[in-house]
Amino acid sequence: MKVKKVLVTVFGALIVGLTGLFVGNQQVQAAAFRPVDTFQHYVGTATINGTWGANLFSGNDQNKVFQKVLPKDSQWQIFGYTHRSDGYYYYAGGDLWIQGNQAKVPVNSGTEAILNTVATYGDVSNPANYWRIASNGWINGYWGNHYMEVTNNNGGGVVATYIVYGNGDAVALANNPTVQPEQPNQTGSIVGNKASRIYHTPDQRNYYIHPKNIIYFASEQEAINAGYRKAFH
**Domain limits at 223?**
190-230
Q: Are residues 146 and 199 in the same domain?
A: no
Instruction: For the chain, give the percent of residues with pLDDT over 70.
Output: 74
Q: What whole-number distance in Å separates Cα of residue 229 and Cα of residue 207?
A: 15
pLDDT-based confidence at residue 188 (cuts at 50, 70, 90): low
The tens digit of pLDDT for each residue in 150-187 reads: 988 887 788 888 999 999 999 888 656 544 444 444 44
Question: Is residue 9 in a domain?
Answer: no
Residue 5 has pLDDT above 70, yes or no: no
Q: Are residues 160 and 196 located together in one domain of the fold?
A: no
* Residue 150 and residue 201 share a domain: no
Q: Strand ranges (DSSP E) for 25-146?
A: 27-30, 39-48, 54-58, 65-70, 75-84, 87-91, 96-99, 103-104, 130-139
Distance CA 141, CA 148 (A): 9
Going across the sheet that includes 190-193, the strands are 214-217, 190-193, 198-200, 229-230
In a domain, 70, yes or no: yes
Give the integer Cα–Cα distance in Å for 3 and 87: 52
**Same structural domain for residues 129 and 213?**
no
Together in a domain, 143 and 61:
yes
Q: Are residues 159 and 64 in the same domain?
A: yes
- What total number of domains does the chain contain? 2
Cα–Cα dist 217/212, whole Å? 16
CB contact at 8 A, 92 and 42? no
3-state helix, strand, coil in the chain (%, to 5): 20, 40, 40
Residue scoring higher pLDDT (135 or 79): 79
Predicted confidence band of residue 141 (pLDDT cuts 50, 70, 90): low
53 CB neighbour count, 10 Å cutoff: 20
Across the range 49-78, mean pLDDT stands at 92
79 and 43 Cβ atoms separated by less than 8 Å: yes
Work out the percent of the chain whose per-residue pLDDT is above 90.
35
* Confidence (pTM): 0.65
Is residue 165 domain-shared with residue 212, that is, in the same domain?
A: no
Closest by CA position to 131, among listed 149, 108, 107, 156: 149
In tens, the pLDDT along 19-47 reads: 333 333 444 444 578 989 999 999 999 99
132, 154 Cβ separation under 8 angstroms: no
**pLDDT of res. 43:** 97
Q: Are residues 165 and 196 in the same domain?
A: no
